[in-house]
Amino acid sequence: MKYDIAVIGSGMSGLMASIYLAEKGLNIAVVSKGDPICSVSSGCIDIAGTGEKTMESIDIFPLEHPYNKIGEKGITDSLQYFLDLMKEQGFNYLGDIGKNRNILTPIGKYRTTSLVPFTMEHADIEPGESFHIISFKDIKDFFPSYITGIFSNTGVSVFDAGTYTTMGIAAKMDNEDFLESFSKWIKLQNIEQKKIGIPAILGITKTRKIINYLETETGKIFFEIPTLPPSIPGLRLYRNIKSIAEKKGVSFYNTADITDFKKENDTIINITIKKPGRPDYVNADAFILATGSFVSGGLFLDKNIFKETVFNLPVYSPVDKELFNMDFFKLGHPLEKSGILIDENFKVLKSGYNNLFIAGSILAHSETMKYQCGHGMAIATGIAAAKHAEEHIK
Amino acid sequence: MKESFENCIRCTICVENCPVFKVNPEYPGPKQAGPDAERFRLDGIETVDKWITHCTQCKRCDFACPYGVDPSKLILKAQIRYVSKHRKSLPQLLFSNFHYIARLGSLFSVITNFITSLGMMRKLFKLIGLRNDIPFPEFRFKTLQRFRKKSIRSPNPVDHIKINKPKERKAAFFHGCYLNSNAPDEGRMIIAILEHFGIKVAVPDQVCCGLPALGNGDLVKAQGFANKNSKEFAKFIDEGWDILYSCTSCGHTLIYDYPEILGTDEGELISKNTWNLYEYLLLLKDEGQINFNFKPLKKVISYHIPCHLRGRGVPYPAVKIFKEIPNLNLHIQDINCCGFSGSYGFKEKNKETTDALGQIAVESLEDHNPDIIISDCGACRMQISNFTKTRIIDPIQIMYDALGL
């Protein structure tokens, strides 16, 4: 099959690139091996740092950081584009692109992020604030006492949902009868506080309806607290973004194991997807590589040899043989700087192909953990790579 | 297996995609049932427990895994082992042999359909562990095989040699049990459409693809079916025929299981030459050999994507074709499994899981207030019809109407 542009990777950066390009009327394919890490994330969009203002954090990022190839306006526009898309989809994300906020986590500590799904609109609890927690009988990995230990004037109620996994409870919430009985139970608890925190299980598909219903019925304000994976807010984020891409006409190749590619001089012609039976070939005028870093499988480290897994691109890394002698779990390990070096046009630096553009956490110097810029960087570089790819095929 | 299960990093993406885990608290999900338990199994420790049969083999975990682990295959092997160590239940025996039941059922269709609708028989169903609250599929006397008595059954038909053109397309149709015994009209439409596009169609002698036997833990029986089909269809491939399927589960078995778990001699050959009906038509269109020229069809349609079609991993071919039908408003539902999974849904023990998933799937299909719901899979259609009054049909009927045949 022949497409205008093929995007490899269906995480945040790949999907955002595909949506942007499909809106321009181009014929786009997204090729992915499986679901992305995005679907087990907290569902929040980190933009930069932990300070009050995001753009001030970016100012002190090192010059090599991918954000510096886009600039403040480019970053802000991309994130605004994301906010607009989610609004159109009916799954609003809230927050000020220029500001960070602190939201409550299951261990009672704060986590800094910037844009949050509407379910976490009220998750920025003030220190000492009084609120209520609703938990579930036997629920895995959610212990309200972590929170009550820090917020001492917090009440807790426990509901027996008849199941004990976050997926199971969220699926039940989508059912009207179950929701009604849950709402009736809340009313019987005579909760004093106005705000109610709840592990992130308020439905998989009908979250908007569920929150509206609960707030109208009980007169309370609800906010979700992200849980360990499986993470429902991450799943909702991924499914909504993918659904937007589908609506814009993007074609999806899933379970795609890319084993080979064809090139003519410096131009990539197609990629081969191996599977039982016949392989599939995806031809395109330009390719965007957004396969992520080590954990997503875009990069692979084998006995001190760094590999890029699709096109065997040169991988930059400041790490030498001392890799495992260092404090491995310390933030800012040099391993995090590893990735693909790019030029101003988001092409591979020097030895690159002329129709290949790179986006997302596979980029060298992105250090998403250290700089807390995960989804924000993915969105901004995804759009930036898409714009350069669009320019290229014109 | 694509890659070792040791690649699992416990990210739980498979768990997020597991329909059974979502609604049945007794099932620990693909991560634990697959790669986690496999570590113990390798050491010879018996971790196979009854809950392993809760898995429907929808294979969504395999499609979702970004690390190339196929949890469903690990689970399938554990299921086979569990069944081999325990006495087979009557439903398991019944559905392993569904091929024979379908053949006999059609031959004596009047009697069979009468009997299966009797109150007494329905009580007996319940007694042996089958559900009696959902209709049993009706068998048709005029099966596809019987109707095609005069059709091509050999790879070298006499008249065929005379008119053999170099670029002529020849398709050997694998109809499977359901299309043959329960939905032969749809089978006839498929053949009519293929012939409309100038494709020569053969309906070779064939037996069940083997999936029901595999799903009920009878590997030997499944291999028997697979060997028989492989031998027959390989003869056609050798003479330049392509294999076409419409039932997405049969197709998945032919392409994925014949060369792997069922391991037939001709498995690789079968796998390489087997095509989804719509993928095939799309290919011919891209090669400029055919043109659809659809008539307008002013309808809102919800398309329930069967799990085994989703697993092909290619952009849904029927969707690409239907986009060319003027005025058609098509919505895709591929997030939810219908929960039926062939024989799984007929078993009393799976009732709660099946019903909960059916309800979820139908709700999202009804979201767009469709005039019609379509789905390639006969079992999905059966399940969906239990939860909605909306008309539900095979997508081939839409194509048939839009072509004005």
Indicate yes or no: CB of B23 within 8 angstroms of CB of A257: no
CB contact under 8 A, B272 and A278: yes
Burial class (CB in 10 A: 0-12, 13-18, 19+), B170: middle
A 267-306 residues inside an 8 A Cβ radius of B = 273, 275-278, 280, 295-297
- To test the contact with chain B by mutation, choose from A27, A35, A89, A172 the residue with the greatest count of B C-beta atoms within 10 A, namely A35
* Spatial distance between the Cα atoms of B95 and B83, rounded to a whole number of angstroms: 14
Domain assignment of residue B102, yes or no: yes
Instruction: Please name the residue of chain B whose CA is at the shortest distance from the CA of residue A297.
Output: B67
pLDDT of residue B20 exceeding 80, the answer is yes
Q: Nearest 5°: phi and psi at A256?
A: -95, 115
Nearest to A257 among B64, B68, B255 (CB): B68
- Supply the DSSP string of A265-314, one letter for each residue: TTEEEEEEEE-SSSPEEEEEEEEEE---STTTTSEEEETTEEEETTT---
CA distance A228 to A222: 19
Domain boundary among B254, B286, B318: B286
CB-CB contact of A287 with A356 (8 Å): yes
Strands A257-264 and A267-274: antiparallel
* Whether B315 contacts chain A with CB within 8 A: yes
DSSP for B238-275, please give it: HTTPEEEE-SHHHHHIIIIITTTTS--TTHHHHHHHEE
Q: What CATH number has the domain bearing residue B361? A: 3.40.50.1860
Q: What is the pLDDT of residue B2?
A: 41
Instruction: Tell whether B219 and B338 lie within a shared domain.
Output: no
- Domain membership of residue B104 (yes or no) is yes
Cα–Cα distance between B190 and B208 in angstroms, integer? 19
Tell me how crowded residue B405 is: count the other CB atoms within 10 A of its CB.
11
Same domain, B184 and B282: yes
- Residue B166 tokens read as 């170099």
Residue B149 has pLDDT above 80, yes or no: no
Q: Give domain status of residue B272, yes or no.
A: yes
Instruction: Residue A361: list chain B partners with CB under 8 A.
Output: none
pLDDT tens sequence across B159-200: 544 444 556 789 999 999 999 999 999 999 999 999 999 999
- Measured CA to CA in angstroms, residue B312 lies from A249, A297, B62, B245, B305 at distances of 19, 21, 11, 13, 11
**CATH architecture observed for domain A106-225:** 3-Layer(aba) Sandwich (3.40)
The reply to whether B188 falls in a domain is yes
Tell me which of B256, B286, B316 is where a domain ends: B286
Answer yes or no: do B61 and B103 share one domain. Answer: no
Nearest to B12 among A162, A205, A230 (CB): A230
Q: How confident is the model at residue B150 (pLDDT cuts 50, 70, 90)?
A: low
Is B21 close to A167, i.e. CB distance below 8 A?
Answer: yes
Report yes or no: A174 and A206 within 8 Å, Cβ to Cβ.
yes
Amino acid at A8: I
Say yes or no: B68 contacts chain A, CB-CB below 8 A.
Answer: yes
In the 8-state DSSP scheme, what is residue A45? B
What are the pLDDT digits (tens) for B320-367?
999 999 999 999 999 999 999 988 999 999 999 999 999 999 999 999
* Domain annotation covers residue B200: yes
> Is the preceding peptide bond at A230 cis, omega within 30 degrees of 0?
yes
- Is B66 part of the contact surface with chain A (CB cutoff 8 Å)? yes
pLDDT digits (tens, 9 = 90+) for B86-123: 888 888 888 888 888 888 888 888 888 888 777 777 78
Q: C-alpha A158: how far from its chain's center?
A: 30
| A-B C-beta contacts closer than 8 Å | 97
Are residues B274 and B333 both part of a single domain?
no
Expressed as residue numbers, the domain containing B359 is 299-402
H or E stretch including B170?
strand B170-174
Q: How many domains does chain B have?
A: 4
Please tell me the distance in Å from B356's CA to the nearest CA on chain A.
9
Q: How much is the pLDDT for A26?
A: 98
Kindly state the tokens that stand for A56: 């001030």
Tell whether B282 is covered by a domain.
yes
- pLDDT range class, residue B146, cuts 50, 70, 90: confident
- B142 falls within a domain: no
Structural contact between residues A247 and A25, judged by C-beta atoms closer than 8 angstroms: no
In a shared domain, residues B119 and B228? no
Domain end marker among B74, B105, B127: B127
Same domain, B257 and B181: yes
Domain ranges, ordered by start, for chain A: 2-93+235-393, 106-225
Q: Which residues contact B219 (CB under 8 A, 6 or more apart)?
A: B80, B213, B261, B262
CB contact under 8 A, A162 and B62: no
> Vertex A138, ends A137 and A144: CA angle to 5°?
75
Q: Are residues B176 and B251 in the same domain?
A: yes
Chain B's closest residue to A203, CA to CA, is B22
Q: CA B204, CA B224: separation in Å to the nearest integer?
A: 17
Answer yes or no: is the ipTM higher than 0.95: no
Q: What is the pLDDT of residue B161?
A: 46
Chain B CA closest to residue A251: B315
Q: What is the pLDDT along chain A (394 residues), one digit of tens a residue?
A: 899 999 999 999 999 999 999 999 999 999 999 999 999 999 999 999 999 999 999 999 999 999 999 999 999 999 999 999 999 999 999 999 999 999 999 999 999 999 999 999 999 999 889 999 999 999 988 999 999 999 988 999 999 999 999 999 999 999 999 999 999 999 999 999 999 999 999 999 999 999 999 999 999 999 999 999 999 999 999 999 999 999 999 999 999 999 999 999 999 999 999 988 899 999 999 999 999 999 999 999 887 789 999 999 999 998 776 666 667 677 778 888 999 999 999 999 987 899 999 999 999 999 999 999 999 999 999 999 999 999 999 9
Cβ neighbours for A367, distance < 8 A, ≥ 6 positions apart: A65, A332, A336, A337
Would you identify the CATH topology of the domain A2-93+235-393?
Answer: FAD/NAD(P)-binding domain (3.50.50)
Residue B380 has pLDDT above 80, yes or no: yes
Q: Where are the alpha helices (DSSP H) in chain A?
A: 12-23, 54-59, 71-89, 144-150, 166-173, 176-188, 207-218, 232-247, 368-371, 374-393
Task: Evaluate whether residue B132 is within a structural domain.
Answer: no
Apex B265 CA angle, B260 and B268, nearest 5:
55
Instruction: Note the pLDDT of residue B97.
Output: 84
Mark whether B373 and B322 lie in a shared domain: yes
d(C-alpha B14, C-alpha B61), whole Å: 4
